[in-house]
Chains A and B, each alone.
Chain A
Amino acid sequence: MNESAEVRAAAAAPQSAARTAATRPMLTLLRRELWEHTALWIAPLVVAAALIVGAIFGRAYAPAAMPISVGDGPVPPQGVGAMVTTALVMSFGAVQYFVMSVVLWFYATSCLYNERRDRSILFWKSMPVSDAKTVGSKMLMALVAVPLYVYLVTLLTTLVAIGIVALPRLSGPASVSVWDGGVWVRGQAFAFVYLVQSVLWYAPLTAYLLLVSAWARRNVQLWALSPLIAIIVERIAFGTHHLSTWLLYRLGPGWMSLGEQWFERLFSGPFYYASGGSSRGQIFAGMEPLRGFENIDLWIGLAVAAAFLYAAVRVRRYRDDT
């Protein structure tokens, strides 16, 4: 090595000692969750596949001219599209979001518990990632990434299913249109707003489950369900049921409760429309999705969620049971 090469090497040495590569910590933490908890991304696909298979069977075996009637008489052809579209958007959404809540329950209760049980927390903690970032990535996964993903999968599934249902028959009379684009767009928009509201409404539950997951030494599911034991104790000891009333409110669709009789209307809406004369706007009449944000309990719940999350970060930082 000649002199100038040595000089260059010497000059480069401090740089290489301080060499740092660009990192993407939050993205990496989220990817890491998907590696461990594969159900988060596989379950919605499995459900979507089942729904599409269901649509194919429905299309194949449905009678050639299925008479659709509501109340007094048959639905006029122009109402069928609105009905089928609404039914698909609603039923697919219901199945997907139910499965999602089951998957997220198990995700939230296990994500901070498994790492302590298999002691891999010692590996995770050997990395320059703060406890706040770690817990935050899990909350972000449960609160934003998974719901958004399930929403998009459901949206695409309804499109595929409608396409299948609308396939022209090989024989028999030409089928009526089962597609009502306007209804579909509005349905997806409402579904999105309600999804956002429900995710925010259940955020304290998610954060509570993360805290239990970070805290429980064993029997994490039992601890997660411990409020139910408190209800029984209250019943037996005091003969009251304040706790169960409150919990039912918090666990129920409180985020929807402000739209007046929207549920009945949502179901009857297409029929109003179908029975003719009414405007398309009536399908979702009575639904006031944005009013959910006016419920003060939603915001109190978010504050409680933040407190649970903070506690989960503290517990992960200071609990030492490895």
Chain B
Amino acid sequence: MTTVIEGRNLFKAYGANRALDGVSFTVESGRIVGIIGPNGAGKTTALKGILGLTDFDGDLTVLGRNPRTERDRLMQDVSFIADVAVLPRWMRVRNALDYVEGVHPRFDRARAEDFLSRTDIRQGSRVRELSKGMVTQLHLALILAIDARLLVLDEPTLGLDLLYRRQFYDTLLNDYFDKERTILLTTHQVEEVEHLLTDVIFLAHGHIVLSSTIDAIPDRYLQLTVGPDGVSRARELHPFYEREVFGRTALLYEGRSARELEPLGEVRTPSIADLFVAKMQSPDVTRTPGAGAPGAAPAPAPRATEGSR
């Protein structure tokens, strides 16, 4: 396993808004890392930094290169899909294949054509004539045929219907991913990707709120569900988040053992989506941006009821 991306103290501000506020992280090869955060959390800024598309302060190395000064060489080993709308609308499918074949030394045209032959996309069509889902399929066909080491996806399935979204991730896992490759992706649709991630990074207000492998989450986080009479005892164990669902209360804990919690109620590993919502509403995140480091001792847990957001 080698280090694919290493970022230290990344800082980027748009005016007074700090999109990245001292972010450090490492991504190893063979991982599928999800960067998850609300709008304006700094996800896209981080990805753009990795792709050499934007300036920032701090040290960042991608596959041993500086993305800012060596973008063109880096792109031989990195593929990215920014979002569904960026293939030029005037381009014909055939032109897209010709273009990538002409400029990318790791592109296998036969592979892309094979993938396209399994779709309804005709090579003579222009991108503007294709549906949004088909444009994504076309982009995916181009990317899958590139023998890259790192694939970066920024909201790749935004605006697609469920069928295309499911197909997109299935293709990615079955036809693309292997232990030599690394995928870094951002998305809002946490539920859809949580089963395929190996690592998650939660980003809020330019800070990393959580960075963990999926395997480590059950050891670190637990969700306890109790009836109305168990809530006060459960609160004594300092949950960092709680919410009421149908008269029962779900509480999330960090660093508690199942043995401590089991006598109080039903214990399970929280889903990434639950953990995300909890982390985004915990006090060190909802506090004014820039005030204090994340991970400070939690204040009394914020309370939320279903649908309060």
Interface residues of A, Cβ cutoff 8 Å to B = 17, 19-25, 27-29, 31-32, 35-36, 115, 118-123, 125-131, 133, 317-318, 320, 322
Contact = CB atoms under 8 A, between A and B. Distances in A.
Contacts of B102: 23-25, 27-29, 31
Interface residues of B, number: 40
Contact of A128 (B48, B76, B81): B76
A320 B48 contact: yes
A71 B35 CA distance: 84
Contacts of A29: 102-103
A126 B90 contact: no
B246 interface: no
Interface in B56-95: 71-76, 78-82, 85-92, 95
B91 A320 contact: no
User: 10 closest pairs, A vs B, by CB?
Assistant: A28-B102, A20-B105, A122-B82, A130-B72, A120-B88, A128-B75, A122-B86, A320-B54, A128-B76, A123-B86
A17 B105 CA distance: 12
A125 B54 contact: no
Contacts of A120: 86-89
Interface in B24-77: 48, 51-55, 71-76
A114 to B, nearest CB: 8
B71 to A, nearest CB: 7
Contact of B55 (A25, A36, A320): A320
Given A17-B147, A128-B73, A320-B53, A123 B87 contact: yes
A258 B107 CA distance: 52
Given A27-B102, A127-B75, A118 B180 contact: no
Nearest to B107: A21
Question: Interface centre among A21, A123, A320, A322, by most B CB within 10 Å?
Answer: A123
Contacts of B52: 125
Interface string B89-114: 11110010011111111111000000
A22 B48 CA distance: 29
Given A121-B86, A128-B76, A128-B103, 16 more contacts: A21-B101, A22-B105, A27-B102, A31-B102, A32-B95, A115-B88, A119-B82, A119-B85, A122-B80, A123-B86, A123-B88, A125-B51, A125-B53, A126-B75, A126-B82, A129-B103
Contacts of B139: 123
Contacts of B108: 19, 21
B105 A32 contact: no
Nearest to A24: B102
A240 B199 CA distance: 67
Nearest to B105: A20
Contacts of B81: 126
A21 to B, nearest CB: 6
Contacts of A19: 106, 108, 147
A19 B98 CA distance: 18
Contacts of A125: 51-53, 71, 75
Nearest to B48: A320
A8 B144 CA distance: 25
Interface string B112-151: 0000000000000000000000000001000000010000
A129 B74 CA distance: 10
A131 B70 CA distance: 11
B90 A127 contact: no
